[in-house]
């Protein structure tokens, strides 16, 4: 995933982790873009995971540069709401973060998550290279088996490399810390990834 400079002024530090949300990140850091519905609740799933350096919310997977929240919600850009997860670790940590991703939403719902309907709420994994692409696809296949045993349908998650990440406006960053009673429609299937 290619991280684009923010077009919006952002807080200098993450509201939970007290670390920068924009590059440069510590040497050896890796990035992952995850779409699992509304990014407010999705970000909260990852910021306290061991090995996570920082998180931020934004837009990826579309065709327009520098989208705004209004553009994305109108469905005009093709972007998904995603969480940028910056982590410091090996492939085992990446696989664990993917398990959190699968367990935190229902990846069989297509262009929606619960009451949130539209292509911006689709399930998506955006990785850096072909090796990570293989790991993401393997994790999908494992989770598909578990979902099938539980009676769920086919996973619709988009998995890709080479996508641009655009930061969302500052008021979306760590939204549920700034707005503890804020909306979170995120819900998993109850099916374990392992």
**Global pTM value:** 0.97
Q: What is the CATH number of domain 2-178?
A: 3.30.1060.10
Report DSSP state, residue 187.
-
Residue 2: per-residue pLDDT: 95
Sequence spans of domains, the chain: 2-178
Residue 45 annotated as catalytic: no
List % helix, strand, coil for the chain (3-state, nearest 5).
30, 20, 50
Q: Which one is catalytic: 38, 45, 184, 192?
A: 38
In DSSP terms, 2 is beta-bridged to: 164
Residue 143: per-residue pLDDT: 98
Alpha-carbon gap, residue 125 to 112, rounded angstroms: 15
Alpha-carbon gap, residue 189 to 21, rounded angstroms: 30
Alpha-carbon gap, residue 167 to 129, rounded angstroms: 21
Read off the pLDDT of residues 64-115 as tens digits, 9 standing for 90 and up: 999 999 999 999 899 999 999 999 989 999 999 999 999 999 999 999 998 8
Residue 135: per-residue pLDDT: 98
Mean pLDDT per 10-residue segment, the chain (194 residues): 96 97 96 97 96 98 97 95 96 97 97 94 97 98 98 98 97 96 90 92
Report DSSP state, residue 172.
G
Can you read off the two tokens belonging to residue 114?
Answer: 């619960």
Can you read off the two tokens belonging to residue 185?
Answer: 């429609």
């Amino acid at each position: 995933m290619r991280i684009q400079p923010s077009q919006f002024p952002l807080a200098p530090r993450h509201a939970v982790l007290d670390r920068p949300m924009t590059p440069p990140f510590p040497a050896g850091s890796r990035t992952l873009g995850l779409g699992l519905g509304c990014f407010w609740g999705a970000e909260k799933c990852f910021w306290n995971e061991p090995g996570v350096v920082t998180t931020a919310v934004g837009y990826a997977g579309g065709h327009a540069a520098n989208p705004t929240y209004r553009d994305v919600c109108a469905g005009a850009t093709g972007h998904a709401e995603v969480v940028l997860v910056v982590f410091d670790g090996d492939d085992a940590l990446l696989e664990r973060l993917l398990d959190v991703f699968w367990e935190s939403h229902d990846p069989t719902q297509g262009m929606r998550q619960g009451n949130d309907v539209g292509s911006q709420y689709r399930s998506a994994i955006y990785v850096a290279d072909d090796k990570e692409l293989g790991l993401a696809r393997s994790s999908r296949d494992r989770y598909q088996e578990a979902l099938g045993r539980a009676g769920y349908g086919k996973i619709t998650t988009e998995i890709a490399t080479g996508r641009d990440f655009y930061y969302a406006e500052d008021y979306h960053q760590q939204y549920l810390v700034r707005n503890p009673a804020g909306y979170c429609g995120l819900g998993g299937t109850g099916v374990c990834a392992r």
